[in-house]
Chain A
Amino acid sequence: MTRISLIALGAFAIMAGAICILVLVPQALLSDVQPPPQLAPYTERQLVGRRVYMANGCVYCHSQQVRDPAFTTDVDRGWGSRATVPADYAYDRPHLLGTMRTGPDLINVGQRLPDADWHLIHLYDPRSVVDWSLMPAFPFLFEEKSPNEVRPGDRVVRIPGPRARRGVAVVAKPEAIALVDYLISLKRQYPVADTAAGMRTAFGGRNGAH
Chain B
Amino acid sequence: MTAPVAGHAPAGEAGTLGRENVRAVAAARGLAPEDLEIRLRADASSALVVLVLFSVAIAWLLIGSIFGDIASLKLHWPDFLTRQGWLTFGRVRTAHLHAVNYGWATAALIGTSVWLLPRLMHNELKAPLVALAGGVLFTLGIAVGIIGVLAGYTDGMEWLEANRYTAGPLLVVGGGLVGLSLFLTVAARRAEHLYVSAWYILGAFIWFPMLYVTGKWPTWTGVESAAANWFFAHNVLGFWLTAMSVGAAYYFIPKVLGRPIYSYQLSVVGFWSLAMFYSLNGMHHLVGGPLPTWMITTSIVASVFMFIPVVATGINLHMTVVGRFGALRYSPTLRFVVLGAIAYTAVSLQGSFTALREVNRVTHFTHWTVAHSHVGGYAFVTFVAFGAMYYIVPRVVGHEWPSARLVRWHFNTVLAGIAIYVISLTWAGVAQGLALLDARLPFQVSVERSVPGLYGRSLGGLILTIGHVIFAWHFWRMIRMPTGAQPTRPPLHEAQPVLYTDEAEAARPRQGAV
Contact with B along A84-114 (1 / 0, CB 8 A): 1110111111111111111010000000000
List residues of chain B with CB within 8 A of the CB of A83.
Answer: 290
- Contacts A18-B279, A59-B158 given; 9 further ones with Cβ under 8 A? A1-B199, A7-B194, A22-B280, A22-B298, A73-B436, A101-B436, A127-B78, A136-B90, A206-B293
Asked if B292 contacts A26 (CB within 8 A), the reply is yes
| B3 touches A (CB below 8 Å) | no
Q: How many residues of A contact B (CB 8 A)?
A: 79
Q: Name the distance in Å between B276's Cβ and chain A's nearest Cβ.
A: 6
Provide 12 A-B residue pairs closer than 8 Å at the C-beta atoms, listed in order of the A residue.
A14-B275, A18-B235, A18-B279, A19-B231, A59-B156, A71-B288, A76-B439, A77-B443, A94-B225, A127-B79, A134-B447, A208-B357
Q: Are A23 and B294 in contact (CB under 8 A)?
A: no
Q: How far is the CB of A53 from chain B (nearest CB, A)?
A: 9
B356 within 8 A of A: no
Which A residue sits closest to B290, measured CB to CB?
Answer: A84
B496 CB–A CB distance under 8 Å: no
Q: Do residues B438 and A73 form an inter-chain contact, with CB atoms below 8 A?
A: yes
Does B286 contact A4, Cβ atoms closer than 8 Å?
A: no
What is the minimal beta-carbon distance from B505 to any residue of chain A, in angstroms? 34
A137 to nearest B CB, angstroms?
A: 4
Whether the Cβ atoms of B268 and A1 lie closer than 8 Å is yes
The interface residues of chain A lying within 8 Å CB-to-CB of B421 are none
Q: Which of B25-33, B201-209, B247-255, B471-479 has 4 or more CB atoms under 8 Å from chain A?
A: B201-209
> How far, in Å, is B169 (CB) from chain A's closest CB?
20
B239 at the interface (CB under 8 A from A): yes
In the assembled complex, the CB of A108 is this many whole angstroms from the nearest CB of chain B, namely: 13
Contact A23 B227 (CB under 8 A): yes
Instruction: Tell whether A1 pairs with B194 under 8 Å between CB atoms, given A11-B207, A207-B296.
Output: yes
A68 within 8 Å of B (CB atoms): yes
Q: Give every chain B residue within 8 A of A101 (Cβ-Cβ).
A: 365-366, 432, 436, 446
Q: Mark B290-308, 1 if CB is under 8 A from A, else 0.
A: 1111111011000000000
Complex contact B222–A92 (CB within 8 A): yes
Does A119 touch B at the CB level, under 8 Å?
Answer: no
Residues 412-446 (chain B) with a chain A CB within 8 angstroms:
432, 436-439, 443-444, 446
Min CB gap A191→B, angstroms:
15
Whether A18 contacts B280 by the Cβ 8 Å rule is yes
Residue of A12, A17, A90, A132 ringed by the most chain B CB atoms within 10 A: A132
A interface residue numbers (CB < 8 A to B)? 1-2, 4, 7-8, 10-12, 14-19, 21-23, 26-27, 29-30, 33, 54-61, 63, 65, 67-68, 71-73, 76-77, 83-86, 88-102, 104, 126-127, 132-141, 199, 203-208, 210
Q: Which residues of chain A are near B483, meaning CB under 8 Å?
A: none
A207–B194 alpha-carbon span in the complex (Å): 44
| B166 contacts partner chain A, Cβ-Cβ < 8 Å | no
Interface bin, chain B: 35 or more
Contact A85 B290 (CB under 8 A): yes
Whether the pair A95, B226 counts as a contact (CB closer than 8 A) is: yes
User: Complex: how many Å from CA A95 to CA B289?
Assistant: 12
In the complex, are the beta carbons of A134 and B156 less than 8 A apart? no
Q: What is the CB-to-nearest-CB distance from B50 to chain A, in angstroms, rounded to a whole number?
A: 23
Which residues does chain A contribute within 8 Å of B285, judged by CB atoms?
99
Using a CB–CB cutoff of 8 Å, the interface residues on chain B facing chain A are 74-76, 78-79, 82-85, 88-91, 93-94, 152-158, 186-187, 192-194, 199, 202-203, 206-207, 210-211, 214, 220-229, 231, 235, 239, 268, 272, 275-276, 279-280, 282-283, 285-296, 298-299, 357, 361, 364-367, 369-370, 432, 436-439, 443-444, 446-448, 450-451
Report whether B83 and A140 are in contact in the complex, using a CB–CB cutoff of 8 Å: yes
Per the bound structure, the CA–CA distance linking A17 and B214 in Å amounts to: 13
Distance of A19 Cα from B220 Cα, bound (Å): 14
Q: How many angstroms between the C-alpha atoms of A95 and B365 in the bound complex? A: 16
Q: How far is the CA of A109 from the CA of B425 in the complex (A)?
A: 28
- Which A residues are CB-close (under 8 A) to B268? 1
Q: Which residues of chain B have C-beta atoms less than 8 A from A76's C-beta? A: 439
The verdict on A60 contacting B206 (CB below 8 Å), with A18-B279, A73-B437, A90-B222 known, is no
Shortest Cβ distance from residue B457 to the other chain A in the assembled complex, whole angstroms: 12
B267 to chain A: closest residue by CB: A1
Chain A residues positioned under 8 Å from B275 (CB to CB)? 10-11, 14-15
Residue numbers in A under 8 Å from B450 (CB-CB): 102
Q: Which of B74, B78, B90, B186 contacts A4 (CB 8 A)?
A: B186
Q: How many angstroms between the C-alpha atoms of A204 and B295 in the bound complex?
A: 11
Q: Are B298 and A21 in contact (CB under 8 A)?
A: yes
